[in-house]
Amino acid sequence: MFFLKEKRIPLTEIFNETFVDIHSHLLPGIDDGAKDIEDSIALITKMRSFGIQNFITTPHVLGDVYPNSSELILSKLKEVQKELINRGYEDIRINASAEYMMDEQFVARLEKNDILPLKDNLILVEMSYFNAPYNLYDILFEIQLKGYKPILAHPERYNFYHNDFENFYKLKKAGCLFQLNLLSLTEQYGLGVKKTGEKLMKENLYDFVGTDTHHKRHLKLLETIGTKKIKKNIIDLVLNNSKFL
């Protein structure tokens, strides 16, 4: 028996002018994303060809590995904004927040209100892929005590939760919003992550989506989500991202 691959549709049928990508690594030279300004512009303009024109890019803020200050992030943002205008891409809107690792340094930043929200009081947070912080729920409580609302980046990628789905419901009850990595619907992170992402979608536990773009290989894979089935599954989430415009 032969199985036909589902016919591809252009990503411009999924993304529209109000979609905002809220998770990416497009600022030059400050984390494991874009290496320099040329790389930044190349990634952004390629994404523009997919129909993505609005970005809130989110460099890592991760302990001593990527100790990016708010000032550094904003200065790199201005560099990219200026270069886009210089090259005539005035239809592209890019702002910056951060993807905050929930560690001791993050708690210290939180105490000082040294936080760049995505919009209003929404902030993007992540955990280690090896295990959750021992004080995870204390951190989530502190985030909300400070008036912020946490959006947990790519919950489907935390393998330590794959065999105990109740943890996802517990996180939602603790006030976490969930952001699906669109690349999790591809082969990028493996079958376990893909299946977990699909189950979380089926259970309607996601609130938003993001590309989590780091490099050109990610964009090549992103093109493979252009199917009618995936469009149907994510269209409401794509529309939810418009609230960040």
Name 64's Cβ contacts closer than 8 Å, sequence gap at least 6: 105
How far is it, in rounded angstroms, from Cα 230 to Cα 200?
14
How much is the pTM?
A: 0.96
One digit per residue, the tens of pLDDT, for the chain of length 245 reads: 444 567 899 999 999 999 999 999 999 999 999 999 999 999 999 999 999 999 999 999 999 999 999 999 999 999 999 999 999 999 999 999 999 999 999 999 999 999 999 999 999 999 999 999 999 999 999 999 999 999 999 999 999 999 999 999 999 999 999 999 999 999 899 999 999 999 999 999 999 999 999 999 999 999 999 999 999 999 999 999 999 99
Bridge partner list, 122: 119, 149
User: All domains of the chain, ordered by start, with CATH?
Assistant: 15-244 (3.20.20.140)
How far is it, in rounded angstroms, from Cα 141 to Cα 184?
28
SS (H, E, C) 170-223: HHHHCCCEEEEEHHHHCCCCCHHHHHHHHHHHHCCCCCEEECCECCHHHHHHHH
CA distances from 206 to 9, 112, 152, 221, 237 (A): 23, 30, 10, 21, 7
How far is it, in rounded angstroms, from Cα 142 to Cα 171?
14
Q: Token pair for residue 52? A: 């993505």
CA proximity to 102, closest of 72, 140, 50, 73: 140
